[in-house]
Amino acid sequence: MPDAQGLIAVWLDVAPQHEEEFNDWYNLEHLRQVVALPGVVRARRYRADDAPLKYLAWYETGDETIEGGAGFQHVVQNPTPWSQRMRRFYGDNRERMNFRLMCDVGHAAPADTPWLYIVHTDIPDDIVGEYNEWYDQEHLPRLVTVPGVVRARRYTATSGNPRYLTAYELTDPNAFEGPEGLKARKTPWTAKMRSLFHNTRRRMCRLVLPAVTHEEASVGAER
């Protein structure tokens, strides 16, 4: 399976009366249609009940150019009848962002972890160099040693904001709140850098659809 160096993250929400059909559309048609495109490696879906937009589609891509490519844009510009119907339900309740992978620490779990904790943030331009050094050399290596934390990946946005996104794959949603999690985050450098975060959003997301790979979606599309 090819490495995924890019990410397309899509937040969507619909009114409760359309939620069941919305999930059927995503799980049975839309996500597989996108994953079958060239350059899309795999995708999952998550739910964050405390988020303004509750559902997250997480498309891992070969690189950050896939969203602007012909295949992805064809799907956007030529919706299926079911997609047209769903667009009427979610309307402007959508956020789509494109990212490039910066750092990958830990290991890919043999099965999807049940939780994904994501942190979006911006940082002042004059400390970006130190920010990246802190995250890659201290913060992520410490956090992936915490029990319940399997992997951490950090991205920079090529469209949309905040500029940076960090995603932690967790087996325990409370991993960072236990003694070892608190210890891993308690350093002078971490205190300094976190005090400079702005435009920050944090979301604990629960897995609702395990990974569908490009190979699986492509076989389905050929039937």
Token pair, residue 121, equals: 């943030």
Say yes or no: 185 and 173 in one domain. Answer: yes
Q: Which residues pair with 12 in a beta bridge?
A: 55, 94
Task: Identify whether residues 17 and 30 lie together within a single domain.
Answer: yes
Closest to 61 in 3D by CA, of 42, 34, 74:
42
152 or 160: whose pLDDT is higher? Answer: 152
Q: Find out whether 153 and 198 touch, Cβ atoms under 8 Å.
A: no
Same domain for 67 and 114: no
Are 14 and 110 in the same domain?
A: no
Tell me the CATH number at 120: 3.30.70.100
Residues 16 and 40 in one domain: yes
**Rounded Cα gap, residues 196 and 190, in angstroms:** 10
* Banded pLDDT at 2 (limits 50, 70, 90): very low
User: Residue 71 sits in which domain range?
Assistant: 6-99+209-222
Is residue 1 a part of any domain in this protein? Answer: no
Q: Report how many domains make up the chain.
A: 2
Contact 6, 98 (CB under 8 A): yes
The string of pLDDT tens digits covering residues 93-124 is 999 999 999 999 998 888 999 999 999 999 99
